[in-house]
Amino acid sequence: MKLRNKEREIKHEVNMTSMIDIVFLLLVFFVMTFKIVELEGDFSVRMPLASQSSGSIDDTDLPLKLRLQADPAGQLASIRMNEVDLGVDFNALQNTVISLVSGQLPSEEAGDGPEVEIDTDFNLRYEYVINAITAVSGYKEGDQTVKLIDKIKFAKPRR
């Protein structure tokens, strides 16, 4: 009996074209939708509507008054903390807050610390308000964040 020579192996070549097409489509999709993620965070502020029937006001409960004034273009014109003019320097504001807060008891419970009331001109750019909140909230010492004032509220909007 004559046996066939089996040495010849049939080469099966898979057609890659369609797969490469789809893979490139996927690649294009991901490249187009790619967006560098900007890390965001929050300043969490608890601001319930002030009750009108507040009883006796204790002097120690009075918030620190932070007044931010704007020029007609919305740029910061002056910072006043408890009626002390600090120019337009947020570092000076921070130092003032540090000196004010350091006089208080260090073992304050959370939510029981000093409070700051931000009274800003209507047209002041929001960016400056955030800078002010940053300055009064704390500062960075290396990787650590030192907290200063937790409680922040806004005064009535000035029209």
Q: Which residues bind other proteins (CB under 8 A)?
A: 16, 19-20, 23-24, 26-27, 30-31, 33-35, 37-49, 68, 74, 120-131, 133-134, 137-140, 145, 154, 156-159
| The two structure tokens encoding residue 68 | 């931010």
User: Distance between CA atoms of 18 and 131, rounded to whole angstroms?
Assistant: 55
Output 13 or 59, the one with its CB closest to other proteins.
13
154/57 Cα distance (integer angstroms): 18
How far lies 144's CA from each of 113, 130, 138, in Å?
Answer: 20, 20, 10
- Between 32 and 105, CB nearer to other proteins: 32
In 3D, which of 53, 55, 61 has the Cα closest to residue 112?
A: 61
Distance CA(130)–CA(84), nearest Å, equals 20
Report whether 98 contacts 105 (CB < 8 A).
no
Nearer CB in complex with other proteins: 97/124: 124
Give least dist CB 75 to other proteins, A. Answer: 10
Q: What's the min distance (Å) between Cβ of 159 and other proteins?
A: 7
Distance CA 7, CA 10 (A): 9
| 57 vs 73 by CB, closer to other proteins | 73
What is the separation, in whole angstroms, between the first and last Cα of the chain? 108
How far apart are CB 85 and other proteins at their closest, in Å?
19
- Nearer CB in complex with other proteins: 2/12: 12
Q: Closest approach of Cβ 62 to other proteins, in Å?
A: 20
> How near is the Cβ of 55 to other proteins at its closest, in Å?
20
